[in-house]
Chains A and B, each alone.
Chain A
Amino acid sequence: MNSLADFVIVSAMLFGIGIYGLVTKRNALRLLFAVEIMINAANLNFIAFGQYLPFATGAQASAPNALGQTFVLFSIALAAAEAAVILAIVVVAYRLHHDVDVSELKSLEG
């Protein structure tokens, strides 16, 4: 369980679950969960590639790359902010429609 491929496969599975959630569910909160899962899949990829694909040249050659982990920290922060915004929208939508089913919220349709 130590090869890069393993992490990538887990990440792909998480992403697939997220997609599945987005496609099948209509509840806004569930969609939020699905998006969070997909973000985490991406985060996992960052860390995995940062660990297994080190700098190609220079003094730090073959040393683990911390850049991936740095990105993940930002990503987690952004995901938290995003979740806050989406939850706020969901709360407003519920107040307006007494429902969180996204198929009912089609007033933005083009």
Chain B
Amino acid sequence: MPSQESLTDMAFEIPSYFVWLVFILPYIGALVTIALRKAGRLGDYAAALFSFLSASFAFTMLLPLLEGQTLRVVSVPPLTTSVPWISGLGLTVGVLADPFTAILANVVAWVSFLIVFYSLEYMKGDDGHNRYFFFIALFIGSMQLIVLSDNLLSLFVGWEMVGLCSYALIGHYWKDETKDWVGTPGEKALGEEQAYSPSHAGMKAFVMTRVGDVAMLAGILILFYYSGTFNYYQLANNQNSWFQHLNSAGLLFPVALLIFGGAVGKSAQFPLHEWLPDAMAGPAPVSALIHAATMVKAGVVLVARIAPIFYFIALSSNSLGPGSVQPFFMTVAWIGAFTAILAASQALVGFELKKILAYSTISQIGYMMLAVGVAGLSFDFSQGLSSALYHLTSHAIFKACLFLAAGALIHASDSKYINEMGGMRNKMKITFAAFLIAVASLSGIPPFSGFWSKDAVLGAAWGAGQYALFAVGALTAGLTAFYSFRMLGLVFLGDRSKRLEQVESQGHLIHEPSPIMWVPYSILAGMTVIIGLTALAGEVVPALNVEAGLQSAASSYLGTFFPAQTFTAPSGALDLAPSALTGLFVALGFLAASVFYVLRRMSPTRFVGQTGPMHALYTFLEKRWYINALYYKVFVDAPLAASKWLSDTFDYRGLFRVNDAASVLGVFVSSAGNWVDVNIVDGTANGFSAAGQALSRAVRKIQTGIVEQYIQVFALGMILLIVLLLIALWQSGQGVVLP
């Protein structure tokens, strides 16, 4: 690393709000898009414009790195790199600006922009285009928030928002017309339907990633409980000695695993990988952007943020040492490796173009997880980390290219099945060239970018002494080469399928899409070549060595967190043994695919046969190892059956009876009340009035109207009174003395 003095001299300064704008601009773009929803396609262009602006600001972060300088961010009040957020907890939210983050942000920004540009044509005429561009812009902002956040909490906010956008965009064709379904309707595994409507696929993705997200939130909160912070720097400084406390509580491994759970869900790693193939129900650019280039990489980003913290604190801790976090890194590496081979094997037999690419994506992300995992198992963390970043970058580019080209192919051929295409190389030359480059890159054929990045990952595994992991990775590379060229051969080579001829006879001519569509994926293919050639040149000219450059970026990133650590100078030397072994597998895969699908010397159908172990294996792979069906059995059917049983048993037989009894009781009680009303309350009232009537009837008889009688009574009464008075006087003994 350069000394402090030269660092200041050479530093390329950008204002801190540039970094903030990278994720704020797409959010503004989303709002503008929704505000222009009545203005035709104006909102779509607004989304593309803001995406471009965001990418431009991201590019300013990259400029100094390209010139070999150090990135330095100048704080410009009031927007510093960190501003208060939740003051009650003393939380701040901020952005990171280091070479590692800058590269990530640029990959996200530029791939996103190209895809948004492509979408302008692809989504033309779609009823929901405004909704589509709103969610795309929202997604880009949230993805940049994940990349640029300097703490776990704001990362989690972005994390959940990309999940929402993913859900909304997978279910973009919410009318669930049969042509938008993913999978072939009627196809079954273990009696479970294997084809899903877009809205079902969206929900599946949402629910499945939520499993990981909940684990991740729990992990983050436990971490916060012990450390009192979400900030990476403070975590890296071992605030409150959280590492030791967590370790003594026996929670170190569980917490790391819980946080890793979020990455497993978002990056579609085993055992939460089953949502991604079905997420292909969304539009092709969505698959390219969210489910290949960016969102699914969020898990890798998260692990790249968290794993070094665990690794280096363990390394610097006297009592614990790196061994205390080895189980965690071992888990990460093996989950990555297993996912890589699991998904690659499923891609071998797929016929839906986008689904093959989805399996491939899962598999390639497995490589990245493997790289981060072996980073923690080796002595040079930056090598594993940089190889993960390398593969992330090259994969984002070539896989986005493949998906965009696939969108054009599906649109042109009016079919999502590769066996219903064929012979398209003549009609779509540009697409063929781009697809070929991307496929070669994916397969790991030199000199394309995928070769170098995959080699870096496997070299890191070899270098860490993890030969078993390396072997799985190398085998997967062979499978990758096979399925990549199988896909290419079936789509572009050979004769046109019957279906294509039928489609063409109906007047739907196969032709190249508009430049708005082919330019983005041609640029991506070009980038693949440029990165690959630069890396090739780097073998001779050290200044152009991409791997070494990325490794110094990773070292610089780690250096900002752990200034006390020293990092070995990157060698960048190609270790020939792992490369040769990997190359052998790749060559085998390529040859097998050539025999079956390029040269067509052997029929794959005859090779697999109708019975026998090959056919059994084929079915096993085609049914996605029965994992998907099993999940549906256990997590969908079983709860449904249980709730049906509960409803039959408790609701119908139990609760409904209670309900009936309660109503009968209610009727009885109210009739008793009615009886009281009628007989007692009314009776009392009526009794009073009847008594009054009877009394008045009796009394009325005295009122004869005969004056004589009144007078008689009056006289008699008077006499009676006089007599009583006299008696009273006599009784009292006081006589009346008259004068």
Contacts and interface: CB of A to CB of B under 8 A. Distances in A.
Interface of A: 3-5, 8, 19, 22-24, 26, 31, 52-53, 102-103, 106, 108-110
Interface in B677-705: 700, 703-705
A53 B706 contact: no
Given A4-B738, A52-B738, A109 B704 contact: yes
Contact of B707 (A5, A102, A110): A102
B712 interface: yes
B715 interface: yes
Given A22-B707, A23-B708, A23-B715, 7 more contacts: A3-B738, A4-B738, A5-B738, A23-B711, A52-B739, A106-B706, A108-B705
Contact of A109 (B705, B711, B715): B705
Contacts of B700: 110
Instruction: Please provide the 3 A-B residue pairs with the shortest distance between their CB atoms, ordered closest to farther.
Output: A109-B705, A110-B703, A4-B738
A4 B703 CA distance: 39
B352 to A, nearest CB: 106
A26 B705 CA distance: 13
A24 B703 contact: no
B704 A19 contact: no
Contact of B739 (A53, A102, A108): A53
Nearest to A22: B711
9 contacts: A4-B738, A23-B711, A23-B715, A24-B708, A26-B708, A53-B739, A108-B705, A109-B705, A110-B705
A57 B298 CA distance: 123
Interface residues of B, number: 12
Contact of A106 (B705, B711, B712, B739): B705
Given A19-B711, A22-B708, A23-B712, A109 B703 contact: yes
Contacts of B707: 22, 31, 102
A110 B711 CA distance: 17
A62 B715 CA distance: 35
A103 B738 contact: no
Contacts of A23: 708, 711-712, 715
Given A108-B705, A109-B704, A110-B703, A4 B711 contact: no
Contacts of B738: 3-5, 8, 52
A26 B700 CA distance: 23
Nearest to B706: A103
A4 B736 CA distance: 12
A24 B712 CA distance: 10
Nearest to B703: A110
A4 B705 contact: no
B713 to A, nearest CB: 10
A100 B3 CA distance: 146
A53 B715 CA distance: 27
Contacts of A106: 705-706
A24 B711 CA distance: 10
B708 A3 contact: no
A107 B711 CA distance: 19
Contacts of B705: 106, 108-110
A19 B739 contact: no
Contacts of B704: 109
A26 B708 CA distance: 8
Contacts of B706: 103, 106
Contacts of B708: 22-24, 26
Contacts of A102: 707
Contact of A3 (B711, B712, B739): B739
A22 B703 CA distance: 18
Nearest to B702: A110
A108 B710 CA distance: 14
B242 to A, nearest CB: 103
Contacts of A19: 711, 715
B507 to A, nearest CB: 110
A109 B738 CA distance: 44
B710 to A, nearest CB: 9
Contacts of B712: 23
Contacts of A4: 738-739
A23 B705 CA distance: 13
A87 B700 CA distance: 30
Contacts of A26: 708
A20 B138 CA distance: 117
Nearest to B738: A4
A106 B707 CA distance: 10
B10 to A, nearest CB: 125
A53 B708 CA distance: 35
Contacts of A22: 707-708, 711
Nearest to A4: B738
Nearest to A19: B715
A69 B725 CA distance: 27
Contacts of A31: 707
A104 to B, nearest CB: 11
Nearest to B709: A23
A22 B704 CA distance: 16
A53 B706 CA distance: 39
B698 to A, nearest CB: 14
B719 to A, nearest CB: 10
A44 B700 CA distance: 38
B139 to A, nearest CB: 97
B711 to A, nearest CB: 5
A106 B706 CA distance: 8
Nearest to A8: B738
A19 B451 CA distance: 144
A109 B710 CA distance: 12
Contacts of A110: 700, 703, 705
A22 B711 CA distance: 7
A52 B704 CA distance: 42
A4 B706 CA distance: 36
A22 B713 CA distance: 12
A13 B190 CA distance: 129
A30 to B, nearest CB: 12
Contacts of A8: 738
A4 B705 CA distance: 38
A41 to B, nearest CB: 13
Nearest to A21: B711
A26 B707 CA distance: 9
A15 B703 CA distance: 25
Nearest to A5: B738
Interface string B67-93: 000000000000000000000000000
Contacts of B711: 19, 22-23
Interface centre among B703, B706, B707 (most CB of A within 10 A): B707
B726 to A, nearest CB: 13
